[in-house]
Amino acid sequence: MSLNSIFQYFVPKDKKFFPLFEQASSNLIDMAKLLKELVNLPDSSKRKELCRKIEDLEHRGDDISHQIHLELGKNFITPFDREDIHTLTSSLDDVADFIHGASNRIDLYKVEKITDPIIEMADLILEATEDVAKAVHELRNLKNIRNITDSCVRINSIENKADYIFDKAVGELFEFEKDAIVLIKYKEVLSAMETATDKCEDVANVLESILVKNA
Amino acid sequence: MSLNSIFQYFVPKDKKFFPLFEQASSNLIDMAKLLKELVNLPDSSKRKELCRKIEDLEHRGDDISHQIHLELGKNFITPFDREDIHTLTSSLDDVADFIHGASNRIDLYKVEKITDPIIEMADLILEATEDVAKAVHELRNLKNIRNITDSCVRINSIENKADYIFDKAVGELFEFEKDAIVLIKYKEVLSAMETATDKCEDVANVLESILVKNA
Amino acid sequence: MSLNSIFQYFVPKDKKFFPLFEQASSNLIDMAKLLKELVNLPDSSKRKELCRKIEDLEHRGDDISHQIHLELGKNFITPFDREDIHTLTSSLDDVADFIHGASNRIDLYKVEKITDPIIEMADLILEATEDVAKAVHELRNLKNIRNITDSCVRINSIENKADYIFDKAVGELFEFEKDAIVLIKYKEVLSAMETATDKCEDVANVLESILVKNA
C-alpha cells in the first residue's frame, strides 16, 4: 500500500503510456463493433468492406504497439514495470489478432449462413472488449482497484459463457451437420471467436498481475 | 544459495499459500481420477454423472485460485515473488480447464467407442498430475530441490509420451477412418487430452523458474 | 543506457550462456533447412530419413536447453535475468517443437502431394530461423541493438506473410477440396508450419523484452 503511494507520487500524470493503452483498448471496441455489424449483415454483399475495415483497425493497433515500444526506448521512468508494459501491449495485440482472425475466416471460408452462436459470440466479444477498455482506463489512477478487479471478474465470466456457447454449438454441429467440410468451417470460425475472449481473459490476467505488484 | 537461506529464515512456515497450492494440485489428481474412471466406463449411462463431478471440481479449482488472489491482496510478504504465485495459480488452473475440456468433449460430441489411445492418455494425465502435486508439495521447503526437478523431468517425459500417442492415433485415424466427422471427433478429444499434459509441463516450467530465482 | 554499460562491464564475455543460445538457434536453422529439403523431395522415398534427422536435431535442442538449465544452477551471475534466460530457452525450444511437428504430420498423415503453400511456408520458416539466429548472436554485445530490433521487425513481417499464406491456402481448400479428410490433413500441416513462425515471433518478443530491460 505504501509502495502504491510512492508510485503515485513519482508518476502522477503519465502522459505517454496511458493514452496509448487507452487508444489500443478503444481500438479493440471499434473492431468488436465492426465484427458485430458484420455478423448481423442481411446478406454478404457488404462483408468484404467490413472485413477490410477490421483489417485496417488491426494495422492501427500494430502502430499503437509500435509507438509504445518507441516510448519504452525513450523513457527511463515508466508508470509500471517495463516488462509489464511489454506484456500488456502484446496481450492487447492478441485480442485484435483474433477479432481480425474471426472476420477473416468468415470471409475466406465463404460462410454462407451466419448462425445464432456466431451472433452471440460477437456480442460477448464486444462486451469483453468494453470491460478491457474500462479496466485499462482505471490503470491511470490505481485508486479504484475495485473497478479493475470487477471488470476482470466480468471478463472471466464472459469467457466462461463463450466457452459454453462454443461447446454447445460444436456439440450440435457433430449431432446435426452431416457435411464434414461445413462442420469444420463453423467450428473454425467459432473457435477464433472463442479465442478472442480467451485473449481478453489474458489481458485481465496481466492487469491483475500489475495490480498485485503495484497495489 | 545464501538467498535461499534468508528466504527460509523469514518465511519459515507459510500458512496461507502452500496449503492452497496443495489443494489446487490435489484437486487436479481428483479430476484426473474421474477422467480415468469416465474413459473406463463399460457403457455411457454413467458418463453424464462423472462429467458433472469433473465440472464441480473445476469450479472448486476456480474457488481455490480466487482464495489465492485474496491472500495476495492481504499479504505483503509472500513465500516467493507475487507474479510467480500468480503464474503458478493460473497454470494449475489451465490443467483443470483441459481435463474438464476433454471430459466435456467426450460428452458433447457423444463419442461412442472409447479407444485405446484415449485410455492411455487418461493414464498419462493422472501420472502427470501426481507429479505436479509431488513437486508442489516440495515447494514448502526448498531443501529437496532434487525432488522437484525429478518430478519436472518426469512430467516432461510424460508429455513426450502423450505427444507420441496423439501423433500415432491421429496418423491411424487418417489412415483407417473414412468418416471425416468421426475422425474430427476423436482428433479433438485426443487433442484436449494432449493439451492437458502440455499444461502440466507449463506448471513444471513455472516451478523450475521459481527454483531458478530462489535456489 | 548507463545500466547497459555497467552490464557490459561486469559480464564482458559470458562464456557459458551465449554459446549455448547460439547453438540452439543454429540448430533451428539446421532443422528448417531439413524441412525445406523434405518438402522439396521429388518423391516420398527419402521422407522418413529426413524426418528422423529432424527428430534427432529436436533432441539435440532438448540437450542444449538442459545444459542451459544446468548452467543456471551453477552460475550466480548471468548475462541477463535468470527468468529471461529461462523464457528465451523455452521459446527457442517451442520453435523446434513445431518444425518437428510439421515434418511429423507430413510423415504420419502420409501427405502425398506437397502443395505450393507448404513449400512457401518452409521457405518462410527458414528465413525466420535465420533472423532468430542473427538476433540471438547480437545479444552478446548489446551495442548493435538496432540489428536485433531489425531482425525482430523482419520476423514479425515473416509471420504476417505466413498468416496470409495459411489463410489463403485454407480458404482455397474450403473452396476446392471436396474430400474432408484430405482438407483436414493439409490444414493441419499448414497450421503446424504457421505456428512455427508464430513461435519465432515469440522469440522476437522475448528478445525485445530483454532489450527493454537491459538497454
Question: C178 falls in which pLDDT band (50, 70, 90)?
Answer: very high
Domain extents in chain C: 14-214
The C-alpha cell 463419442 sits at: B111
- One-letter amino acid identity for C91? S
User: Which of A181, A185, A189 to mutate against chain C (most C CBs within 10 Å)?
Assistant: A181
pLDDT at C11 > cutoff 70: no
pLDDT reported for residue A215: 64
**Alpha carbon distances (Å) from B135 to A22, B29, B131, B147, B199:** 41, 13, 6, 7, 15
Whether A183 sits inside 8 A of B185 (CB atoms) is: no
pLDDT at C16 > cutoff 80: yes
Taking CB atoms and an 8 Å cutoff, what residues of chain C touch A87? 209
Question: B117 falls in which pLDDT band (50, 70, 90)?
Answer: very high
Taking CB atoms and an 8 Å cutoff, what residues of chain A touch C183? 181, 184
Instruction: Read off the DSSP letter of residue A76.
Output: S
**Alpha carbon distances (Å) from A114 to A36, A132, C101, C149:** 11, 26, 34, 42
pLDDT at A160 > cutoff 50: yes
- What is the rounded (10 degree) CA torsion for A137, A138, A139, A145? -160
- Calpha distance C61→C28 (Å, rounded): 8
Q: What's the mean pLDDT in B112-139? A: 96
Q: Which of A180, A205, A208 sits opposite B180 (nearest CB)?
A: A180
pLDDT reported for residue A84: 85
Instruction: Read off the DSSP letter of residue A115.
Output: P
What digits encode the pLDDT tens for the residues A19-33?
999 999 999 999 999
Whether C213 sits inside 8 A of A82 (CB atoms) is: yes
pLDDT at C186 > cutoff 90: yes
Look at chain A and count its residues.
215
Q: By C-alpha distance, which of C89, C75, C102, C88 is closest to C10?
A: C75
What digits encode the pLDDT tens for the residues A177-192?
999 999 999 999 999 9
pLDDT at B69 > cutoff 90: no
A37 to chain B, closest Cα gap in Å: 30
pLDDT reported for residue B6: 45
What digits encode the pLDDT tens for the residues C131-152?
999 999 998 877 788 899 999 9
pLDDT reported for residue C140: 85
3 state SS for chain C:
CHHHHHHHHHCCCCCCHHHHHHHHHHHHHHHHHHHHHHHCCCCCCCHHHHHHHHHHHHHHHHHHHHHHHHHHHHCCCCCCCHHHHHHHHHHHHHHHHHHHHHHHHHHHCCCCCCCHHHHHHHHHHHHHHHHHHHHHHHCCCHHHHHHHHHHHHHHHHHHHHHHHHHHHHHHHHHHHCCCHHHHHHHHHHHHHHHHHHHHHHHHHHHHHHHHHHHC
The C-alpha cell 502522477 sits at: A12
Whether C175 sits inside 8 A of A83 (CB atoms) is: no
Pick the CATH number of C14-214 from 3.40.50.1000, 1.10.3720.10, 1.20.58.220, 3.10.20.30: 1.20.58.220
- Calpha distance B103→B108 (Å, rounded): 9
Whether A212 sits inside 8 A of B86 (CB atoms) is: yes
Asked if this assembly's ipTM is beyond 0.85, the reply is no
Half-sphere exposure for B92 (CA within 13 Å, toward CB): 34
- Calpha distance A64→A85 (Å, rounded): 13
pLDDT reported for residue A10: 45
- Calpha distance B169→B93 (Å, rounded): 27
pLDDT at A3 > cutoff 90: no
Contacts of B12 by beta carbon, 8 Å cutoff, 6+ apart: none
B60 to chain C, closest Cα gap in Å: 30
- Calpha distance B85→B70 (Å, rounded): 12
What is the percentage of chain A residues whose pLDDT exceeds 70?
93
Chains near A with 3+ CB pairs less than 8 A apart are B, C
Q: Which of C83, C104, C184 sits opposite B209 (nearest CB)?
A: C83
> Per the structure block, which three cell numbers stand in for B121?
492418455
Cα angle value C81/C85/C86 (rounded, 5°): 115
What digits encode the pLDDT tens for the residues A66-95?
899 888 877 777 888 877 888 899 899 999
Whether B73 sits inside 8 A of A215 (CB atoms) is: yes
- Calpha distance C148→C132 (Å, rounded): 9
What digits encode the pLDDT tens for the residues A110-133?
998 999 999 999 999 999 999 999
Residue B106 burial (CB count, 10 A): 24
Q: What's the mean pLDDT in A7-16? A: 55
Q: String of b and e for B172-191 (b: at least 16 CB within 10 Å)? A: ebbeebeebbbbbbbbbbbb
Q: What's the mean pLDDT in A134-142? A: 89
> Per the structure block, which three cell numbers stand in for A165?
456457447
Question: C215 falls in which pLDDT band (50, 70, 90)?
Answer: low
Q: Is A89 exposed, middle or buried (0-12, 13-18, 19+ CB in 10 A)?
A: buried
Contacts of B47 by beta carbon, 8 Å cutoff, 6+ apart: B38, B41, B106, B107
Q: By C-alpha distance, which of C152, B206, C95, B98 is closest to A90?
A: C152
B176: part of which helix (H) or strand (E)? Answer: helix B145-176
Taking CB atoms and an 8 Å cutoff, what residues of chain C touch A180? 180-181
Whether B181 sits inside 8 A of A174 (CB atoms) is: yes
What is the percentage of chain C residues whose pLDDT exceeds 70?
93
Residue A70 burial (CB count, 10 A): 12
The C-alpha cell 506473410 sits at: C161
Assign a CATH topology to domain A15-214. Answer: Methane Monooxygenase Hydroxylase; Chain G, domain 1 (1.20.58)
